[in-house]
Structure 1
Amino acid sequence: MLLLQIADIHFRHPECNTPDMDPDRVYRTRLLSDVKERVRALGPVGAILVGGDIAFRGIEAEYTAALAWLKELAEVSRCPIERVFVVPGNHDVDRSVITKSFAVQNVQAAISSAPAERREKLLRAQFMNAETGRTLLEPLAAYNEFAKIFSCQVFPPERLYWKQSLELEDGVTLRIHGLTSTILSGIHGLDDTRESLYLSPLQTILDPVDDVVNLVMSHHPPDWFKDHDEIEDAVQGRAAIHMFGHKHRQRIARDRRYVRLAAGAVNPDRYEPGWQPGYNLVNVKVEGYGAERKLLIDSHLLAWQTNPEMFRPMADGTAGEIFSHSVAFPSRHLGNPVSLSPVRLEAAQRTEAIELPNDSVEASMSDEHTRNLVFRFWKLTASQRREVSLKLGLIERSELKLPEPERYGRALLRAGERGLLDALAYEVAEKENNHGR
């Protein structure tokens, strides 16, 4: 599966909504052209992973422009728009909300100033409380409105981060964990400093399940967190692929247990030292069987050059323009597929896929058809979403005052839990058909 990794797009209003006055537009346009050419050789993109800083000030107008561009990116990469996954960055935090709200300042300060041994417990208590949990997320309100159509919004008390699954070869699942690195971002309305943020073990469970490859994406890399040592231990030991942004530096690090990719930035500040837009294409493939099975990861790091203007692959020393790496990924099922007939092998693979451990309904809703249904659901009018959700019993009337990303995000999860996805699909289709009459 080919993954497209980008970060730090920094859609800035009003420039991004007045294209003829947006000096950064050209780099995004060049990136679209470059992706279009590369997928002709590499094949279609299976998922687009957006590592935060989508906006610049975290306001609605910036996400309107971002969504339009991401739709273009999905089209040229031949990737369904439903396979776009996003996490928030510090520029997706609306700091004006923090400076105007003592409630937000107080809950952030309480967690930040807590002794290390009490911080995790306090974050859990604050996030699981209906009032303080929503207060923590108020600066991400515009981001959540944008992220909801991709099922990447966060809400209390159960969704501090998200995870989604994609199928690789031979019954292997790629599980993407989208971490929320911005809970303490913009504290007191100020810039973040190294080790000023907090992630917590609540987000790094990354359960090492058989036949599941964990991929972690977060805007901030581990060294920006107060608990960076614990994060490094968890991520390195439990995830085979790490994707970070924020630093605007395009890098790759390879270890026998994992590969770590820094996305660079689609639109870094043109006046910052070392300015260089970039993005990554990462091909992930399973090879071998049983004890010999490996995850093969070929990374194409595309960096901007000025004269002539274009994206060019970064070189891997004498190894060419592809950074190749393999991570051992043995299976507990150590049989030899050669001894099976093609029919029996296919049946065995189907059985393994069916019995794949799944600790989350959310992960099971990552199926392409279900994600498409979610996308269509959000395209209904507000009154249609309300009518469908109430009809199927997916929300209570007492929940109608909740923010939409939380209200209907929870309703969609309930549809999966209660086996009502087919019924939901029928109701959505009915609304779509009636709208077209």
Structure 2
Amino acid sequence: MSLAFVHLSDIHFGQEKGGDLYINNDVKERLIDDVRQLVAQLPSRKAAGLIVTGDIAYAGKEAEYKEAGLWLDRVAQAAGCKKTDIQLVPGNHDIDRDEITKATELMLQSITTEGQQALDGFLRSPVDTALLYRRFLAYQPFAQAYRCPLDDQGGQPEAHVAHLAEGRSLRFIRLNSALICSKRDTHGKLILGARQRVIAQRPGEEIVVLSHHPLGWFQDSEDATRYIRNRARVFISGHEHNPSVRVESVRQGQDVMMLAAGATVPPTQHDTFTYTYNVIEFGWEPETDSLEVKVRPRAWDDEQKRFVNDAVRLGGQQPRFVLGCPNFRGPNQSEQAETVTPELNDEQVEIVISAPEQAHAQDEKMTDEYSLLLLRFFRDISPDNRLKILVDLGAIPPGWTDALSQPNERRALDALVKKGRLQDIVQAVDQVEQQ
């Protein structure tokens, strides 16, 4: 069994000016056509989902995400997956610079200068935390819609798990590399923070890490790199618009793959930085109990005005990699590497994105309904209507008018779902959309 994902990065919705709007819109249409044709050639004839490594928007505005959502729906349809099967992380363009006040600037400067200690101090204050995350004002509901919320304590949010074979899974961990991004960012000055860079391990799971910024952009890159090399199997990033891939041998039987994406829609198009995207196929290699990764890089051919195989940027038209995986449970392995298994709280619920052999039909139906509800609730209706629904259904007290933080809004929604009121929420959303 293999799982393929359409990998997009740096789409920059909202950057277009004048005639560039028509050019980029045409490229996006051709990308949909290309995805449809490419996915039809896969063994499964469909993708397991989409991966977007940041910079979905250009200025972090609500209208940009609305446009992005409509387009991603169509890409998902062309890829043969559900429109809820999308994973994303924020980039520096997903922050709204208009929300950076003088107080926010001082906070970000303090974190940049003092590092982890200052970050921890601000995260202990609900007021400071709210100010820090306000830069993601439009991104946050968009991310919630796809089950990719930002953790409001600077940590890792809920992970997505994909099953490859018996006892062998991939856990996708998403990093908020834009945590302290400001109006201008300097290479080597950003911070992931300990809550993000500490990557836990679990038996039978290999880890794929998604980040907008490559590791070199962080002050804590040395420690983050050690975690990536020793705990992860694949690290996928964007931001620099320069596609590359390399496999590093960590030790005997253990490899790590570093994949840097190009820009799906770069700010300017030329021979060096052109329109690119990938299809990444993950599979289990039974002979060596390894992870097989096939990359199908695609790039814009300006002469033909369409996407073609990219034989230049990633070292071949369809490069294939076999990665040593110490965490996979092979049939002859009785011992496992020492692992750390953290407890999951209500906001870190494991979402299985492909496990047909293990899930009952009832559970799958419930998961699909819940995922679609999140998409509609957080992406397709306004904040005022979301608040009204939560008040009307008794999730928050009557007469409540204050804005809710995204995590609290999600908690209120999930509380209703746990009480068996999913269909009540669906009906309320239907009524809003029919108005």
- TM-score category, normalised to shorter length: 0.7 to 0.9
2:14 touches 2:57 (CA, 8 Å); kept in 1?
yes
CA contact (8 A) 2:58 2:94 kept: yes
2:279 partner amino acid: L
| 1:265 corresponding residue in structure 2 | 263
Amino acid at match of 2:96: D
Deviations 1:347-368 (A, max 9, x none): xxxxxxxxxx674252424555
Task: Give the 5 Å matches for 1:22-421.
Answer: 22-42=22-42, 43-98=45-100, 101-114=101-114, 119-157=115-153, 161-186=157-182, 189=183, 191-256=184-249, 257-270=255-268, 274-288=272-286, 292-315=288-311, 321-330=317-326, 335=331, 359-360=343-344, 361=346, 362-366=348-352, 368-369=367-368, 370-378=370-378, 379=380, 385-386=386-387, 389=390, 395=396, 401-403=402-404, 405-412=406-413, 420-421=417-418
Structure 1 partner of 2:336: none
Count of equivalent residues = 402
Most deviating of 258-267 and 158-167: 158-167
Q: 2:420 aligns with which of 411, 423, 434?
A: 423
1:395–1:407 contact (8 Å) kept in structure 2: no
TM-score when scaled to structure 2? 0.82
CA contact (8 A) 2:175 2:210 kept: yes
Contact 2:266 2:275 in 1 (8 A): yes
Shift of 1:122: 2.5
Q: Is the 8 A contact 1:134 1:155 kept in 2?
A: no
Q: Please identify which structure carries the higher helix content.
A: 1
Query: Displacement of 1:272 after TM fit?
Result: 6.6
- The verdict on how the C-alpha distance between 1:376 and 1:55 changes in structure 2, with shifts beyond 3 A counting, is closer
2:290–2:328 Cα contact (<8 Å) kept:
no
Question: Aligned partners of 1:11, 1:306: CA distance in 2, in Å?
Answer: 21
Contact 1:27 1:266 in 2 (8 A): no
What is aligned with 1:351? Answer: none
| Cα deviation, residue 71, structure 1 | 0.9
Q: Distance in 2 between matches of 1:169 and 1:278?
A: 31
Question: Is the partner of 1:166 in helix, strand or coil?
Answer: strand
**Which whole-Å CA distance do the structure 1 matches of 2:238 and 2:37 have between them?**
24
Aligned residues of 2:84 and 2:372 also touching (Cα < 8 A): yes
How far, CA to CA, are the matches of 2:27 and 2:248 in structure 1?
32
TM superposition shift of 1:171: 3.9
CA deviation vs aligned residue, 1:77-127 (integer Å, no higher than 9, x gap): 1111111111111111222222xx12211211111111xxxx223312312
CA spacing shift, 1:193–1:427, aligned 2, 3 Å: same
Over residues 128-181 of structure 1, what are the superposed CA-to-partner deviations in whole Å (9 max), with x where a residue is unaligned?
A: 321101111111111113222112232523756452223332243322111111
Distance 1:220 1:366 in 2: 26
- Taking the aligned partners of 2:402 and 2:425, their CA distance within structure 1 comes to 22
SS at match of 1:36: helix
Aligned counterpart, 2:12: 10
Summarize the Cα distance change of 1:200–1:82 in structure 2 as closer, same or farther, 3 Å threshold: same
Over the aligned positions, Cα root-mean-square deviation in angstroms equals 3.3
Q: Is the contact made by 1:181 and 1:219 (CA closer than 8 Å) also made in structure 2?
A: yes
Q: 1:145 to 1:319 in 2, by over 3 A?
A: closer
Deviations 1:196-222 (A, max 9, x none): 211122102221111122111111000
* In 2, Cα distance between equivalents of 1:203 and 1:317: 30
How big is the shift at 1:315? 3.2
Contact 1:215 1:241 in 2 (8 A): yes
Rate the CA distance shift 1:63–1:70 in 2: closer, same or farther, 3 A: same
Question: Unpaired runs of 5+ in structure 2?
Answer: 250-254, 334-340, 354-366
Contact 2:46/2:79 (CA < 8 Å) preserved in 1? Answer: yes
Q: TM-score normalised to the size of structure 1?
A: 0.81
Shift of 1:13: 5.7
| Partners of 2:96 and 2:202 in 1: CA distance | 37
Query: Letter of the aligned partner of 1:23 in structure 2?
Result: I
User: Which amino acid in the other structure matches residue 164 of structure 2?
Assistant: L
Amino acid at match of 1:428: I
Give, in whole Å, the separation in 1 of the partners of 2:283 and 2:203.
16
Change (3 A) 1:397 1:432: closer
- SS of 2:84's partner is helix
Cα distance in 1 for partners of 2:391, 2:421 equals 11
- Residue 239 of structure 2 aligns with an amino acid whose one-letter code is H
For 2:337, the equivalent position in structure 1 comes to none
